[in-house]
A and B are shown apart, each in its own frame.
Chain A
Amino acid sequence: MMPHDETMILETPFHSRCLALCEINLWEDWKGYRSAAAYTSVEQEYFAVRSNTGVFDISPMIKYRFTGPDAGAYLNRLVTRDISKIAVDRVAYTVWCDDNGQVMDDGTIFHLAENDYRLCAYARCLDWLMWSAEGFDVTIVDETADVAALAVQGPTSCAVFKDMGFDGIEHLKPFGIARYPFKGAEVMISRTGFTGDLGYEIWIDPTFAEPFWDDLFAAGKLRGIRAIGSAALDMLRTETGFLQAGIDFIPAEEAIRTGRSRSPFELGLGWLVSFDKPVFNGRKALLKEKQEGSRYAFVYLDVEGNKPAEHAFIYSGSKEVGTVTTAAWCPTAKTNVAFAQVDAQYGKVGQKLVAEIYYERELKWTRVMAKCTVIEGAVFNPPRKRQTPAPDF
């Protein structure tokens, strides 16, 4: 039991720095932490990531640590992806399912060392993690508050890190992990992120959070660094096709109405399911689904015109076949994109559909029936995201 704590909302280890930069005072609650929705201008923050470097405080992200001789085997049992293929100092995006093969959450697994892993998740899931741990020699610790973290994203992010003295960072491959000394401590840098651009995430002891931020912003000063809020991040993730738990799907444990949860196949994440590995949570149900077919398909839509298809119904002819979960005009890709859940048969690339979009201008509401096409995936997917050595813009 921890002592009383009267504070109503927590502050991240970077809070003093975020507060100083948050000119428009737009905050929101991210899992109990005060988190900036925007600092100055959503548009400028968005373009900072696409043209320079944007820094997003991801400290509130739920983080679990797994150690012990069975840590790897345990995670392989927990998630759908084959974790045995993730080498030390590598990161893997994955989902995990309940026994009905319904997605509980998505997140990233960091293979920190032999028998040592970190899982970053959207939702708290310690209870489920403990359930799944029966029979495994693994220790599970919630380390959310013990690790400060920043996403440092954008074309100049590698250059900024080089200027900070992180030599050789340009050789870090996507989903790789590197470690550097920082003022007597260690900063872990992974080439990961939620923006689809060249970028990194840094992980550090909270006591070194403020000095790290100060050095980062000093180094980035000439390279257009700025702090970004969740509003800009949402545009960025949409443009690059990343799903958001709680928005693009309901975590299975939180779904109250029957049939509202989704399987990995129904979220376009079938590539994360490995039937070649030993038994894992949801395997039986997923195998059955693979054989018998899914109920829904998750699709990326290229939507005609420039009106974001927010909350739109999707039609095939006059038949309603789905709804939009995320929609935005993408400023870099210059595309009007939408994510939608549709009945499985309408999910094929090239499928023509119609989005019923309502928009308001000066209190006048207009309805447009916008043609859409199911597309392959992210509308923004630049080579610099993958290039190694990372380019120096």
Chain B
Amino acid sequence: MKKYDAIIIGAGHNGLTNAAYLAKAGLKVLVLEKNAYIGGATVSRELYPNWKYSNCSYVCSLLRPEIIRDLELPRHGLQVVPYGGGVTFKENGDYFGNHADHERLLREVARHSKRDASAYERYEADVMKQTRLIRPFLMRTPPDPTSLKPRDLKELALLAKSFGSMGEEGLADTMRFWTMSIGDFLDEYFESDVIKAHLAGSGIIGTALGVYSPGTAYVLLHHYMGDVDGSVGAWGFARGGMGSVAAALSKSFLSFGGTIKCDAEAAQIIVKNGKAKGVALANGDELYADIVVSNLDPKRTFLKIMDESDLPADVVTKAKNFKIRGSSGKLNIALDGLPTFTGLPKESPLCLGEKHFSDSLPKMERAYDDWKAETWSKDPYVDMLIPTQIDPTMAPPGKHMMSVFVQYAPPKINGGDWTAEDKAGFEKTVIDQISNYSPDFKDLILHCETRTPQDIENEVGLTEGNIFMGELTFDQLLFNRPFPGYAQYRGPVKGMYMCSSGTHPGGGVMAAPGANAAREILMDLKLTNTVPGGYDDD
């Protein structure tokens, strides 16, 4: 049997990034993908003729610019087009418009509350302070706080220095920010319900927590710390859908001589004498390599494709305890034309951005209550976009594609699997909510792909359909991601590594875990590092 230097399990963006850097360093690298297509949750598929759906992830901001540039992703076809705008519709027929132009935005905020317009600038500055603290650590391996190794001490010192530079007050703010709820945080700035509701969405997306659950303020930060061309907090569309991120990464990988095998599901990481030796596939084939990298989430990695007897008991327990709760669903809809929204001119630049239909924090908290009761939210928080207004490649001219991210949807309904009726009910809830604000929406629907957390798990392999491969709460971040003692991408078995979003710095299509893991692997192999450091963010 052919032997590889490294085998990466899972052709998602992190697996491909990891593979590209290992191949760039001269290793013979194989990427295994269980599906017939690559991409994992960074995928675009034609499920309705001439329409392309970004089935899972749908917008792009966190993808590290250092990696985009270093792996020459633009040359390999990646183009990220920023979008602005956004609307939160109110039940009373009014809306809040998130204008891209700063002064226009402040006037819109002032329309709801003059006081909030002045608080908005304080809010922006404060969030930016926290963003600037975290950004330099995205392309770095978290230090082990219990280690006395010079490298760990140096990295810890850097962390301490960054915290220190925030000043006494900044330090206190940071501790609060990382632990408090997005609702409490926003209450300290704003009085207008709709403005709070508009901003709070970023704190709960993909997270099995409510707007008043501690820890959700950080989740908001996670959505602000990306950038498009240096514009921090901006989001864009990958032209051609998010699948073009995976496509560009795979081309880069292939250009370094790598191999991708689809329809090749990993069943087991082969371990002999405490060392990784290769991967056994579901079809019985065995592939060998001394380096095996799992791009699956920590639960799947340690509880499904590794033998418990090969692992230290604490890892098995930690994997079992790892918080990776499914909380979101998705509708991808082919539209015969651009829908009209009540009160909003079709040509309004606000239409280019996200639309939401939750106008208060209590409403969002109630949506979470439904999740706790093991059912989908009856009045969900949705993050809806129509990318075809900017990206002409997703649907025929004049036709549109709508991406609807839905929070909350539980992994199980009342303890059982989702039935066809449940799924239909979920779909109806979402479509009805949108049509409450768009009278012609239902008539324009040509096709709808509805994805429950269970569907996402079955197809993509994200446990419970958790989009971040583990919740982004402080107990699972930095040197605690995925769990204490294993945050430096090395598994408990020699030659076995982790590169998924379940590792630092987490999910959101950053590709940083994949790149950081590659750096560690190359260091262990005493090979020249091919992974870039982060840009200076001053």
Contacts and interface: CB of A to CB of B under 8 A. Distances in A.
B111 A254 contact: no
A213 B500 CA distance: 66
Residue with the highest number of chain B CB atoms closer than 10 Å, among A1, A10, A31, A259:
A1
A258 interface: yes
A167 interface: no
Interface in B83-108: 94, 101, 103-104, 106-107
Contacts of A127: 115-116, 118-119, 122, 189
A124 B106 contact: yes
Interface of B is mostly: helix
Contact of A6 (B94, B125, B132, B345): B345
Nearest to B108: A5
B129 interface: yes
Residue with the highest number of chain B CB atoms closer than 10 Å, among A4, A5, A8, A130:
A4
A124 B165 CA distance: 28
B132 A256 contact: yes
A126 interface: yes
Nearest to B103: A32
A1 B112 contact: yes
B104 A32 contact: yes
Nearest to A4: B343
A5 B343 CA distance: 11
B121 interface: yes
A8 B101 contact: yes
Interface string A129-154: 01000000000001000000000000
26 contacts: A2-B111, A5-B107, A6-B345, A6-B348, A8-B101, A8-B104, A10-B107, A29-B103, A31-B103, A100-B169, A123-B118, A124-B106, A124-B118, A124-B121, A126-B114, A126-B115, A126-B118, A127-B115, A127-B118, A127-B122, A127-B189, A130-B115, A142-B110, A253-B125, A254-B121, A257-B132
Contact of A4 (B94, B103, B118, B538): B94
A123 B118 CA distance: 8
A384 to B, nearest CB: 36
Residue with the highest number of chain B CB atoms closer than 10 Å, among A8, A124, A257, A259:
A124
A242 to B, nearest CB: 23
Contacts of A124: 106, 117-118, 121
Nearest to A31: B103
Interface in A1-38: 1-2, 4-6, 8-10, 29, 31-32
B485 interface: no
A1 B94 contact: yes
A88 B118 CA distance: 29
A253 B115 contact: no
Q: Please name the 9 residue pairs, one residue from A and one from B, whose CB atoms are nearest each other, closest first.
A: A32-B103, A124-B118, A127-B119, A127-B118, A126-B118, A2-B111, A258-B167, A256-B128, A126-B115
Interface string B279-296: 000000000000000000
Nearest to B104: A8
Interface in B422-454: none
B111 A5 contact: yes
B112 A32 contact: no
A275 interface: no
Interface residues of B, number: 31
A1 B111 contact: yes
A359 interface: no
Residue with the highest number of chain A CB atoms closer than 10 Å, among B107, B165, B169, B348:
B107
B306 interface: no
B337 interface: no
Given A8-B101, A31-B103, A256-B129, 10 more contacts: A2-B111, A9-B103, A9-B104, A130-B115, A142-B114, A253-B121, A254-B125, A255-B125, A256-B128, A259-B167
Contacts, number: 61
A130 B119 CA distance: 11
A99 B119 CA distance: 17
Contacts of A10: 107
Interface residues of A, number: 27
A128 interface: yes
A195 B26 CA distance: 67
A123 B106 CA distance: 12
A125 B107 contact: no
Interface string B367-404: 00000000000000000000000000000000000000
Nearest to B164: A258
B91 to A, nearest CB: 13
B536 to A, nearest CB: 13
Interface in A169-188: none
Contact of B117 (A100, A126, A258): A126
A1 B92 CA distance: 12
Contacts of B107: 5, 10, 32
A253 B348 CA distance: 31
Contacts of B170: 258
A250 to B, nearest CB: 10
A125 to B, nearest CB: 5
B166 interface: yes
Contacts of B112: 1
Contacts of B348: 6
Contact of A128 (B110, B117, B118): B118
Interface string B105-149: 011001110111111011001001100100000000000000000
B121 A123 contact: yes
Contacts of A1: 94, 111-112
A284 B128 CA distance: 28
Nearest to A99: B169
Interface in B149-167: 165-167
Interface string B158-189: 00000001110110000000000000000001
Given A4-B343, A6-B345, A32-B106, A258 B165 contact: yes
A281 to B, nearest CB: 15
Given A5-B111, A253-B125, A256-B125, A125 B345 contact: no
B360 to A, nearest CB: 14
Contacts of B122: 127, 253
Nearest to B194: A1
B244 to A, nearest CB: 32
A186 B103 CA distance: 31
Contacts of B115: 126-127, 130
